[in-house]
Amino acid sequence: MRSLPALALIFAALLSLSGCGLLPEQKDETAGWSANKLYTQAKEAMSEGSWDKAVKYFEKLESRYPYGRYAQQAQIEVAYAYFKSGETASAIAACDRFVKLHPDHPNVDYIYYLKGLVTFNEDLGMMGHVSMQDQTERDPKGMRESFDAFKTLSSRFPDSKYTPDAVQRMKYLVSAMAANEVHVARYYMKRKAYVAAANRAQSAIKNYPDAPAIEEALFIMVKAYDEMGMIDLRDDAERVMRKNYPNSVYYTRGLNRVEPWWKLW
C-alpha cells in the first residue's frame, strides 16, 4: 500500500503532465461548427429544456463569431436560457450587457421585459394575493428590481406588446411591496417596538398610497401612536383612516366595547 506522501507525489506528477499537454485533453464537440450549426443546436437544446447546454452553445457562438448575424440574437437567447436555468445573476448581467451594447435594438423592449421577469416570483403568480402563500415572504430587493425593469419598459415602449403584461405585474408588485412593509410593521408591533412600527407603516403609506395594505398600515400607526402616548399623531392617523376607510374591518372590533377600537387589536 502506497503511503500518503507517495500518492501526493503521483498526483502532482499527473498535474504536471496535464499542464505540459501530455495527457489527452477533452475533445470539444463543437470544434469546427459553423455559426449556423451552433445556433441551431442551441435552439434545439432550448426546445428540449437543456438550458445549460444552450448557454454553452450560445456563448461559443458569440465568442467565435462576434460580428456575425447570429451574435446579437445569441446574446438575447442566452439571457433567456440563464433565466430558465435559474441563474438569476447571469441573466440580469446578460440583459444589462445587451442594453448597453445595443440600446436601439428592435428587441430591446423584450430585454427589459425579460429582466423584469428574472426577479419576479412567478411561482407566486398573478393570483398570489388570493392564495394561501404570504406575499410578504418575497425578497423586497428582487421585487423592486423587477418593478424598475417593468417601469422602464412601460415608459420607454408604451406600445410594446410586452407592456400590458408588464403593467399588470407592476400593479401586483406594488401590492406585494406594500404588504411586505406592513408585514414588518406588524412584526415590530408585536414586539412593542412602536417607533419602528409607526415608521415602517408610514413608509408604506408614503411609497404605496393606493395599495390594499394601506388600510392596515394606518391602523398600525393609530395603535403605535396610542401606545407611545402621542395623542395628536394618533388622532391625525385615525382621521385619515376614517376618511379613506369608513367601513374598515378594524372598527368593528370596537363595537359595544368600553375601550377604543384600536385597543382591541
187-204: per-residue pLDDT in tens? 999 999 999 999 999 999
Residue 29 in 3-state DSSP? coil
Residue 39 has pLDDT above 70, yes or no: yes
More confident residue, 124 or 165: 165
- pLDDT of amino acid 69: 84
Rounded mean pLDDT, 2-30: 58
In whole angstroms, give the CA distance from residue 226 to residue 234. 6
Closest CA to 238 of 252, 257, 221: 221
Mean pLDDT of the chain: 84
**241-242-243 Cα angle (round to 5):** 90
Question: Which residues, 6 or more positions from 76, have their beta carbon under 8 angstroms from its beta carbon?
Answer: 98, 107, 110, 111
Write down the pLDDT at residue 107. Answer: 95
Q: What is the CATH number of the domain that holds 245?
A: 1.25.40.10
Query: How far is Cα 47 from Cα 28, in angstroms, rounded to an integer?
Result: 22
Q: Is residue 183 part of a domain?
A: yes
Q: Is residue 146 part of a domain?
A: no
In a domain, 129, yes or no: no
What grid cell was written down for 187? 412584526
What average pLDDT does the segment 36-50 reach? 93
93 within a domain of the structure (yes/no): no
Residue 114 binned pLDDT confidence (cut-offs 50, 70, 90): very high
Residues 6+ apart with CB under 8 A from 18: none
Tell me which residue has cell 504536471. 16
Per-residue pLDDT reduced to its tens digit, 81-111: 999 999 999 999 999 999 999 999 999 999 9
> Structural domain of residue 201, as residue ranges?
175-264
Residue 94 domain-assigned?
no
Q: Environment class of residue 190 by beta-carbon count within 10 Å: exposed (0-12), middle (13-18) or buried (19+)?
A: exposed
Please report whether residue 38 resides in a domain.
Answer: no
Question: Is residue 30, in this structure, part of any structural domain at all?
Answer: no
Average pLDDT over residues 104-122: 91
Confidence of residue 257 (pLDDT cuts 50, 70, 90): very low
CA–CA separation, 241 vs 156, rounded Å?
36
Answer yes or no: is 21 within a domain. Answer: no
| Cell numbers representing residue 101 in the block | 451594447
Question: Among candidates 259, 191, 256, which has minimal Cα distance to 220?
Answer: 191
pLDDT tens column, 46-67: 999 999 999 999 999 999 998 8
Q: Rounded CA gap, 109 and 154, in Å?
A: 9
Cα–Cα distance measured from residue 265 to residue 256, given in angstroms and rounded to the nearest whole number: 15
Distance of alpha carbon 101 from alpha carbon 264, whole angstroms: 58
Say how many domains are in the chain: 1
Of 183 and 136, which is predicted with more confidence? Answer: 183
